[in-house]
Amino acid sequence: MKLVRRLIGAGALSVLSGCALHGNNAPMVKMPELFCHNAEWALSGLRDSRVAFNSTKAVCAADRLKLAAQILAFSDNKSELAHARSLVDSVLNGTEVQRDVGLAGLATLLDRQLNERRRADERADKLGAQIRDQQARIDDLNAKIAALTALEQSMALKSVRKRSPGQ
């Protein structure tokens, strides 16, 4: 399952890097006393899982999207994925995406990737539950077979004992 998640993360990164190439004309957004980056910056440095991003500095939309992309690519923790979902939702519901088309596209892409990850996790959980149920059923049937085998052996011993004294 981890391999599937890693492949999904790698696919997301390749798609994200393709989106960054189209977003080169996106203007840099400047907020009062706060410098915000564009979508291309948000995609930089995502390929290295060792690059840490400080979530306390995720003030701008690009910062939040970069953190969400890093979580999506390198984390399997459900609480961290929920945090990534809240970051993406805050960007989609904010005003930054109206000013920067690149950020809007990146936010939409991350939203879709998070939805796909959620569906995959739900499928994996459902299949895991089915496997546990089937294993319990197998164990129950094996116990019944063992009991029937023991009963058959005890009946065979009784029939041998009954024949022996009568001969």
List, for residues 141-165, the tens digit of each pLDDT value: 999 999 999 999 999 888 887 776 6
Q: Is 148 contained in some domain?
A: no
Q: Is 105 contained in some domain?
A: yes
Asked whether the beta carbons of 39 and 100 are under 8 A apart, the reply is yes
Q: What are 19's two structure tokens?
A: 């989106």
Instruction: Indicate if the pLDDT at residue 121 is higher than 80.
Output: yes
Q: How far apart are CA 51 and CA 48, in angstroms?
A: 6
Reported confidence tier of residue 57, pLDDT bands at 50, 70, 90? low
Q: Is 89 contained in some domain?
A: yes
Q: Is 79 contained in some domain?
A: yes
Instruction: Report the candidate in 45, 140, 17 with the shortest Cα–Cα distance to residue 54.
Output: 45
Q: Is 84 contained in some domain?
A: yes
Q: What is the pLDDT of residues 81-99, one digit of tens each?
A: 999 999 999 888 887 666 7
Q: What is the pLDDT of residues 20-46, one digit of tens each?
A: 555 555 555 544 445 566 666 666 666
Q: Is 92 contained in some domain?
A: yes
Number of domains in the chain: 1
Asked whether the beta carbons of 21 and 38 are under 8 A apart, the reply is no
Domain span at residue 52?
2-124
What type of residue sits at position 14?
S
% of the chain with per-residue pLDDT over 70 = 61
Quote the pTM value. Answer: 0.58
